[in-house]
């Protein structure tokens, strides 16, 4: 549970920041109790304002694949800061990070950096609409693509329900530009494209869903989306804001050998600083100003401090290639959590891929948002608070991915499993 100082700070924050936070999930509404306020982080560990230390599985929701305050990232950001934090003019490091991104994701022939993943997605959709001259975008239920107005639409059972806004303040007319289908539903996608393919500007998809909890694409799902979009001359947008440089060095698209038309990145490529990027085939991206008629800009886009932190992160990842080890550790964690749950006869499903996992409290196989929602979120909340008591910080919401970093050690895992055993016992 949150300590005394966290509680006091939350009370104070609530009097100035909306809900005490700057992004809703941080408020712990999904798990109950007050949020923990952090003071510092180093490697796999974070320390709160009360002086308690936790093994961190949130990693700032994805960016910190190298762990907190990694020396190389720190040094690069510091050096960049000392040279002047922003110019609003081109710098060399933007070019270098762009090249590093394209080297790892060759489909991104031209890249534009933004300051967040949301901006990257918003802009990629604008480009797709300009390129195709169409308005509709297909997304998948439970997919998260930032807080873009027209994409804050998730509900609507049945096959191709036209969207109902999930957030207040989204004009119905904009929500109607979004089509929805269940993730992994190949037949539904085929059916939709048969009747409406020619109206669809783009399909936007997380190649591994990580915002309904971790859900991997089933065999043929992404391939089908590629084939359908190609046939109807729609664009395929991979939202790799989480998967980019998380699954492998590069994107899911490289490992899965599927080439999207446009790709969105964020999180890891900023090394903990605010960054997003979108890119794709030259012929599409050159629609963007100043080359073309699609306007998109940003005062702090390509900010040199953020670019330096991102570049240092990618260089360190490339040099150390921690992916196999992180995947192995995640698999071990998954297996142990499963067997602990089995031992206590708890209905638990653990989905995992690479360095991400989600613990669902359900009997059902989780392969889309509907099955994810069968999870007993109250049980997750109790599990979460049990872990917190034991010194382990899991994402404070069910439909999220717990993430390992390269800094997690065998000792961290043992410590985590100890805490998990106690948390399961208390369920």
Ligand X SMILES: *Cc1c(COP(=O)(O)O)cnc(C)c1O
Q: Which residues bind ligand X (CB under 6 A)?
A: 116-118, 121, 144-146, 206, 211, 239, 241-242, 266, 276
Residue nearest ligand X, Cβ-based = 117
Q: Which residues are catalytic?
A: 144, 239, 267
Residue 293 Cβ vs ligand X, minimum distance, rounded to whole Å: 25
Residue 143 Cβ vs ligand X, minimum distance, rounded to whole Å: 7
Query: CA–CA distance from 373 to each of 143, 345, 383, 415 (Å)?
Result: 13, 20, 17, 29
Nearer to ligand X, 145 or 382 (CB): 145
CB 323 within 8 A of CB 80: no
Query: CA–CA distance from 233 to each of 154, 180, 196, 254, 402 (Å)?
Result: 25, 19, 12, 22, 36
Q: Cα separation of 375 and 140, whole Å?
A: 19
Residue 58 Cβ vs ligand X, minimum distance, rounded to whole Å: 12
The HSE-up count of residue 139 (CA atoms within 13 Å, CB side) is 28
Nearer to ligand X, 36 or 242 (CB): 242
Nearer to ligand X, 235 or 348 (CB): 235
Residue 221 sits at φ, ψ, to 5 deg, of -65, -55
Q: Cα separation of 146 and 125, whole Å?
A: 12
Residue 403 Cβ vs ligand X, minimum distance, rounded to whole Å: 11
Nearer to ligand X, 241 or 388 (CB): 241
Residue 339 Cβ vs ligand X, minimum distance, rounded to whole Å: 30
The HSE-up count of residue 35 (CA atoms within 13 Å, CB side) is 24
Nearer to ligand X, 55 or 237 (CB): 237
DSSP string, 23-62: SGGGG-TTT-SPPPPEEEEEBTEEEETTS-EEEES-GGGT
Q: In terms of DSSP bridges, do strands 402-403 and 356-360 run parallel, antiparallel, or are they unpaired?
A: antiparallel
């Amino acid at each position: 549970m949150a300590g005394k100082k966290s509680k006091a700070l939350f009370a104070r924050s609530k009097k100035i920041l909306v809900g005490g936070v700057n992004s809703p999930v941080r408020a712990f509404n999904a798990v109950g109790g007050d949020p923990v306020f952090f003071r510092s982080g180093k490697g796999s560990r974070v320390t709160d304002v009360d002086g308690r230390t936790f093994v961190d599985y949130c990693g700032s929701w994805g960016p910190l694949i190298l762990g907190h305050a990694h020396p190389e990232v720190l040094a690069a950001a510091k050096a960049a800061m000392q040279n002047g934090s922003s110019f609003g003019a081109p710098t060399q490091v933007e070019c270098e990070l762009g090249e590093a991104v394209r080297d790892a994701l060759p489909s991104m022939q031209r890249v534009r950096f933004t300051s967040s993943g949301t901006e990257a997605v918003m802009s990629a959709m604008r480009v797709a609409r300009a390129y195709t001259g169409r308005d509709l975008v297909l997304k998948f239920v439970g997919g998260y693509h930032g807080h873009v107005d027209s994409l804050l639409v998730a509900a609507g059972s049945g096959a191709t329900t036209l969207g109902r806004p999930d957030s207040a303040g989204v004009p119905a007319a904009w929500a109607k530009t979004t089509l929805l289908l269940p993730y992994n539903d190949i037949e539904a996608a085929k059916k939709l494209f048969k009747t409406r393919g020619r109206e669809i500007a783009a399909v936007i998809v997380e190649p591994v869903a990580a915002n309904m909890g971790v859900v991997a694409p089933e065999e043929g799902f992404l391939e089908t989306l590629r084939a359908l979009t190609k046939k109807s001359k729609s664009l395929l947008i991979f939202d790799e804001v989480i998967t980019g440089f998380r699954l492998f060095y590069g994107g899911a698209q490289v490992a899965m050998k599927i080439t999207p038309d446009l790709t969105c990145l964020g999180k890891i490529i900023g090394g903990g600083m605010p960054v997003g990027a979108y890119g794709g085939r030259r012929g599409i991206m050159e629609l963007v100003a100043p080359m073309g008629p699609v306007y998109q800009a940003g005062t702090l886009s390509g900010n040199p401090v953020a670019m330096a932190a991102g570049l240092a992160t990618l260089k360190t990842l490339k040099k150390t290639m921690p992916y196999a080890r992180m995947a192995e550790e995640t698999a071990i964690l998954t297996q142990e959590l499963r067997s602990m749950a089995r031992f206590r006869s708890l209905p638990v499903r653990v989905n995992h891929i690479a360095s991400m996992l989600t613990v669902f409290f359900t009997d059902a196989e989780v392969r889309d948002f509907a099955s994810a929602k069968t999870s007993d979120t109250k049980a997750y909340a109790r599990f979460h608070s049990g872990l917190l008591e034991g010194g382990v910080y899991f994402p404070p919401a069910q439909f999220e991915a717990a993430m390992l970093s390269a800094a997690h050690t065998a000792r961290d895992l043992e410590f985590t499993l100890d805490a998990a055993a106690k948390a399961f016992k208390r369920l």
